[in-house]
Amino acid sequence: MSDNVLSILLIEDNLALAKQVTRFVEGLGWHVDFADKGNQGITLATENIYDVIVLDLNLPDCDGLTVCQKIKQSQQRVTPILMLTARDAFEDKAKGFMSGTDDYLTKPCDLRELVFRCQALARRPQLHTNTVIEKGGLTLDTKAFSVEYNGSNIKVTKVGFQILYELVKAYPNPVARSDLISTLWNNELPESNPLKSHMYNLRKALAQSSSSLSLSTIGNIGYKLEGLNNV
C-alpha cells in the first residue's frame, strides 16, 4: 500500500460494512469520520476538511445523489467524492456522475481497490499546484498539511492549516472573517459557528510551539498573522 495518509469521511448506513472499511483504512494510519445519515454527512463535510468522501447512495433520511449535490454546492474547497453502492446499472452510474461524484465503486468490493481509488482521487487536486509555500521562516506543505517554523514542526488541524494558509497568503495584511467563511464554508457558516473554535485551536497550537507566531483579531474586520521573520 501507499504511504499516503488520508483523512476520509465515510457516509454509510450499513454499520457492519462501515466498521469493516474503518478498521481496514485505520490499519493504514488513515483518519476516518463516520456518518450513518445523509444530513449528518453533509454537516461533517461542511464543517471539516477531508481528502476524500466515500458516499453510499441508499441512506435512511435522503438519497445519496442529493447528499452529493449538497456537499458539492456547499464546499469552496472541492473534495473528491467516491460513491460506494450496490446500484450497478449504467443509469445509476450516470446519475451519480451527473450529481457530481468523481468516481463510482459497486458493492461488494475489494477494500484494497477502495484504498487505491481514494488515493488516486486525493492526488487529483494536487497535480497542478505548488505543494510547498514558504514565507518568513514559515513552511506550509499543502500535500501533507504540515507546518514548520524555523525548522520546528507545528501541529495544526486540517481546518487550522487552511486558515493559516489564507493568513500567510495575505500577510502582512489581515484576512476578513467573511473571506475565511467563504473559503472554508462557501459563505454558509454552520449553525455551530465553528470558526471561533478553530481560531482558538490554531492560536493554542501556535502558542504551544514556542514560536513568535500569533494571531491578532482586527476589530470587526478579521484576523492577522503576526511574527514572521523579516517580512
212 and 115 in a common domain: no
**8 Å CB contact between 230 and 174:** no
115 and 84 in a common domain: yes
The predicted structure's pLDDT at residue 188? 57
pLDDT digit string, tens, across residues 210-225? 778 999 998 888 899 9
The predicted structure's pLDDT at residue 128? 45
Please compute the mean of the pLDDT values over residues 38-52 and round it to a whole number: 87
**8 Å CB contact between 37 and 66:** no
Sheet holding 146-149, edge to edge: 132-135, 138-141, 146-149, 152-154
Q: Which amino acid is at 87?
A: R
**8 Å CB contact between 92 and 57:** yes
Domain boundary among 76, 110, 126: 126
How many domains would you assign to the chain? 2
Domain boundary among 126, 144, 160: 126
pLDDT digit string, tens, across residues 184-212? 776 555 566 678 888 999 999 998 887 78
The predicted structure's pLDDT at residue 1? 36
The predicted structure's pLDDT at residue 127? 47
pLDDT digit string, tens, across residues 97-126? 877 788 888 888 888 889 988 888 887 755
**Quick one: which of 30, 69, 71 has its CA closest to 51?**
30
142 and 85 in a common domain: no
**In angstroms, rounded to a whole number, what is the distance separating the alpha carbons of residues 140 and 26?**
25
| Model confidence at 33: pLDDT above 50 | yes
pLDDT digit string, tens, across residues 54-67? 999 888 888 888 88
CATH code of residue 149: 1.10.10.10
Q: What percentage of the chain has pLDDT greater than the value 90? A: 21
The predicted structure's pLDDT at residue 86? 80
Beta strands in 36-119 (DSSP E): 52-55, 81-85, 103-106
Q: What percentage of the chain has pLDDT greater than the value 70? A: 89
122 and 11 in a common domain: yes
What's the grid cell of residue 4?
Answer: 499516503
The predicted structure's pLDDT at residue 224? 93
Residue corresponding to grid cell 502582512: 172
Domain boundary among 92, 126, 160: 126
pLDDT digit string, tens, across residues 143-176? 778 899 888 899 998 888 989 988 988 888 888 8
Asked whether the bond before 108 is cis by omega within 30 degrees of 0, the reply is yes
The predicted structure's pLDDT at residue 203? 92
Q: How many CA atoms lie within 13 Å of 98's alpha carbon, on the beta-carbon side?
A: 6
**Residue 112 belongs to what domain range?**
7-126
Q: Report pTM.
A: 0.56
